[in-house]
Amino acid sequence: MDRSDRKTIRVGSRKSELALIQTKFVISQLKELHPEIEFEIVSMTTMGDRVLDKPLPKIGEKSLFTKDLEVALLSGTVDFIVHSLKDLPTVMEIGTTIGAILKRDDPRDALVLRDDCKEYQLDSLPSKSFIGTSSLRRTAQLKRKFPNLQVSDVRGNLNTRLKKLDSSQSTGDNTNTNYSGIILALAGIQRMGWEKRVSQIIDSDVMLYAVGQGALAVECRLGDDYILEMLEPLHHYETVLQVVAERGFLTRLGGGCSAPVGIRSTVCLTKNAMSLDGAVWSLDGAEELQYSSSAELADKKVIQSHIDQYRGEDGEPPKKCPYKQPRQFVGVTPGKISYLDLDTALKLGTELAENLISKGALDIMNAAKEIIHSTIK
């Protein structure tokens, strides 16, 4: 659909305060590039926002935080959507693509403690203290490394979860509602301007983070060249490579919220290399499989040589066929990023998953799925 004659672009977003902050940030970046365009936010609640009385894996639906927005996107109600990338499934809705991935904020997790517990950290909290999280990944790592703590599910947006923590009291009766602390994504807390609430930044050596955590993604319709061209300058090279590797890892494992899976990735431009650490745990944290791998990125001269092979006689790149779509990398449109580097990142993630699979990762994940399905009523 050609929207090049439009002066107002409609942007889909969840209604939470954090989601709107993130959406407004992306719009501010685009306004700097296109001051002549107006952006209108269309906010809505998703199934993940509406169903708060069940842990996420037990709801039994995919795309909990994205499906409603994607319906609006495909129907033309909105032109693009701003997501926390960790909420986006690795298999994209047919007809959609990730048109931009912005520079990643700190992907680590953070511990937020109740006021009367501020002097503690994870390794010093009193035995049987309750830690709230809705993440199986965090739960498994907590149970493995801090078995003296108790983990309780806590749902809702960032504001809701912090209110549940603040309303908890130290009654000594060990009820699930009396959280000593909760674990949240550090990036979300920082975007809300609530850094002072952070009691401990949990290093990735202690807790691997979620695929895509800390990054913002902009989803649009596949083939909407006007929007894709608008979004392309927001693509951040190192973050895109990290995300492609991480999503490739999770895709090969076939995971989502069905099993605890954690990741850590780095791109070092001075060494022209990237590395990836990934792990899978059983739901109780008793079993752990972890593996690390690295890969060398293409030298920029090699990339240029690769481009030159396809130049026309006049030395300019050939015009793109208007009927041919760019190749997708786990749902990401590459923009101007070299396919050579994206292939390297994707291969790194896939091969890391293969190594874990060879050690029995799928058995652990299947066992987790069976446990989750048996508890769904």
Cα 190 from chain centroid?
Answer: 16
E-assigned strand segments in the chain: 8-14, 38-44, 80-84, 96-101, 109-113, 130-132, 150-152, 179-185, 200-202, 216-221, 261-268, 273-281, 288-296
Distances in Å between the alpha carbon of 169 and those of 41, 111, 173, 177, 306?
Answer: 38, 17, 10, 9, 63
The DSSP bridge pattern shows strands 273-281 and 261-268 to be: antiparallel
E-assigned strand segments in 7-149: 8-14, 38-44, 80-84, 96-101, 109-113, 130-132
Q: Is 153 a catalytic residue?
A: no
Q: Three-class SS of residue 21?
A: helix
Burial class of residue 193 (count of CB atoms within 10 Å of its CB; 0-12, 13-18, 19+): exposed
Provide φ and ψ at 310, rounded to 5°.
Answer: -110, 10
Contact 186, 111 (CB under 8 A): no
Cα 301 from chain centroid?
Answer: 32
Collect all residues with Cβ–Cβ distance below 8 Å to 153 and sequence separation of at least 6. Answer: 55, 132, 133, 134, 176
**Among 87, 109, 224, 277, which one carries the catalytic annotation?**
87
The residues carrying an active-site annotation are 87
